[in-house]
Amino acid sequence: MSACLTPPAISEDLLRRYDIAGPRYTSYPTADRFVEAFTVQQYEQALAQRASGALVGGSAPLSLYVHIPFCESVCYYCACNKVITRHHERAGEYLQALRTEMDLTLGHLGRMPSVSQLHLGGGSPTFLSDEELGQLMQDIQQRFRVAPGAEISIEVDPRTVSAERLRHLRGLGFNRLSFGVQDFDPAVQKAVHRLQSFEDVQALMQGARELGFESINVDLIYGLPLQTAASFQRTIAQVCELRPDRIALYGYAHLPQRFKPQRRIDIAQLPAAGDKLAMLSAAIGGFLAQGYTYIGMDHFALPNDALSVAKRQGRLHRNFQGYSTQADCDMIGLGVSSIGRVGVTYSQNAKTLYEYYDLLRQGQLPVNRGLALNRDDLVRRAMIMALMCQGRVAFESIELAHLIKVPDYFRAELEQLRPLEEAGMVQLSADAIEVTALGWYFVRAVAMVFDRYLQADRTRAQFSKII
């Protein structure tokens, strides 16, 4: 969908009809399907197969994700794996654990594998001091060969950085930043325990541009307590004034039974469904009117950003961090709760620091669950990722890669797409499925049709709303 096109008309009836919960499909099968029966030995075998060249695409550079769980204060909406503490000395033990995990990983993977994408997430990676961030980057570069032109990104809490810290990050090699903003309205910020002014973020972004960061992302959330359609429209205008290269717009999912910090949110202050729909509609229209390209689902980018270019060229991919310009490559996840993908396996590390440290002390990689994909998983993953990234599935490519006939293999699913076709979201032909401009806003609903696990149990309470 071109940035210059008028956004499609989305009726309130259509928005309400698809105000349903569903996966974000940063993987298929999704992480909730991982099982503890998946063993660390299976993960080690996948690493060894990659090292031996036995995996398809095993010579391609890796993507590397490092999870830093610490935050100084809790944001009530947060659903991340985190540790709230003001004791910064705890970072030293964690950095040592990361070194141990890297060494154990490379014992199976081989020394100095090439990395084309490195991302520090959390928690708040900027909880680490300048010296600790420098040590971490040195530890990584001593063990992995970071390729020239690699995407090196870090999530930044604007409350924990200054212009001097940004300069330090740039000197360490970071070339991409992601600022957690969520909302600029002071009342909303107070309600979610995250106070940061527009002026502070504006100054940081200006400083980041002067330092030559290649891409700056801003995260927003709609549906937070005390938000209104009018207040969020002001935030949208302020974000457009900042002109970030990328915008991630997430709908707040209130799941206090799963995420303890959300219990501090007054449910009476949450906006009604109609107000949330108005916020979403205003955001879509506002960003497109300012020249942003709609990447897919809840992501926007300026036309010259690498994500927009990748979408135009049909090179868009998805991994556990969301949309990516990187090829469909293996990902190594380091740190507590991190998720990785190697070959036809997914793996996740222990979710608590106690268990994570304990496994490493035993000389064992800290994997405690995962999944080995079967043939059906691989076929469905190909379908879902083509829909999520290219907005089109050419049957011939799936049939040649997986030795099936799509109309036969997915007979029931193609029939389930008929209502979506009638709603104008997809176009079905004898040899392809095409997501329309309207359908891009509901692409998760299209992908869900091909999710065998979801279709089998229809348990969606653990997922966010798709709009």
* Residues flagged as binding site for [4Fe-4S] cluster: 71, 75, 78
Are 129 and 167 in contact by the 8 Å Cβ rule? The answer is no
The binding site for S-adenosyl-L-methionine comprises: 65, 77-79, 122, 155, 182, 194, 219, 253, 339
CA–CA gap between residue 168 and residue 159 (Å, rounded): 16
The binding site comprises: 65, 71, 75, 77-79, 122, 155, 182, 194, 219, 253, 339
Residue count (the chain): 467
Token match 């398809």: residue?
56
Residue 153: both structure tokens together: 């990104």
